Structure 1
Amino acid sequence: MTDAAAGPLALTIDHAASAAPFEQLRRQVADGVADGSLAPGTRLPTVRALAADLELAVNTVAKAYRALEADHVIETRGRAGTFVSATGDPASQQAQLAAIAFADRVHHLGLDDAAAIALVETALRARR
């Protein structure tokens, strides 16, 4: 799983913009999910950590997370954290979840990306 606090999530807030900070944050996360830069399973920073990083009130970040969760863009898994949700039709969602589980497992086993992709390609060819 990708941890946004350490990687691909580069959020900025323009305090001079006409859009409220909560809306800027909500839009940036939703756009990241839509364009694929935030993949399903990406772990988002905690509300407090993101608020501190962006110099926003905790309630502002919490409001954005609640709106994103209501739109099924993200999901909160209790103490495990907040993650980008699987998207699309049910079959696509299941495939995304399987891919996330596979990526987590091969990372845990110490395989690099190229080896993991080679395994998937071999498995897909064998199914033809």
Structure 2
Amino acid sequence: MTSPRIRIDDTDPTPAFEQIRQQITGHIASGALPAGAKLPPLRQLARDLGIAVGTAAHAYRELEATGLIASRRGAGTRVTATPVPDESLNHDAQALHAAAVHYLTTADLLGAPPQATLDAVVAALRAQH
């Protein structure tokens, strides 16, 4: 199984570490990165994305703080948990959130940039109404 793609969109005002955090969280939530899946080492991720190692480390620290991943010297960084749905959301809102995460993961796997992903949603909304 190949690892889900992570990309940095230089046109997105969202900081690179946050883009990484959001994408990895989405991949975990969708099941594309199940518990136990190994994430790339920081240096490799930074090199692949053309970012500083510190930026990749910031993303991993954020994910570790939420309990989604754990890093161990010699064992690498692995997925430890699935995001817990926000209990303040009702069942319909949770289902909608899960569908949105699935859509975003699929769009990412297709290589769609964020603006094209958003444009597709807007076009679909207009076609239904």
**TM-score interval for Structure 1 and Structure 2 normalised by the shorter chain:** 0.5 to 0.7
Aligned length: 84
1:108-119 superposed matches below 5 A: none
Give the secondary-structure state (helix, strand or coil) at the position aligned to 2:70.
Answer: strand
Q: 2:26 aligns with which of 27, 31, 55?
A: 31
Q: 1:88 to 1:13 in 2, by over 3 A?
A: closer
Unaligned runs of 5+ in 1: 90-128
- Normalised TM-score (structure 2): 0.61
- Normalised TM-score (structure 1): 0.62
Report runs of 4+ in structure 1 exceeding 2 Å deviation: 86-89
RMSD (CA atoms): 1.7
Q: Give the structure with higher Rg (CA).
A: 1
Greater RCO (Cα-Cα under 8 Å, separation 6 or more): 2
Q: 1:56 to 1:33 in 2, by over 3 A?
A: same
Larger relative helix fraction: 1
Give the secondary-structure state (helix, strand or coil) at the position aligned to 1:79.
Answer: coil
In structure 2, C-alpha distance between the alignment counterparts of 1:87 and 1:20, rounded to whole Å:
23
Kindly, what percent of the aligned residue pairs are identical?
A: 43
Whether the 8 Å contact between 2:8 and 2:19 is mirrored in structure 1 is yes
Unaligned runs of 5+ in 2: 85-129
Whether 1:82 and 2:80 are equivalent positions in the alignment is: no
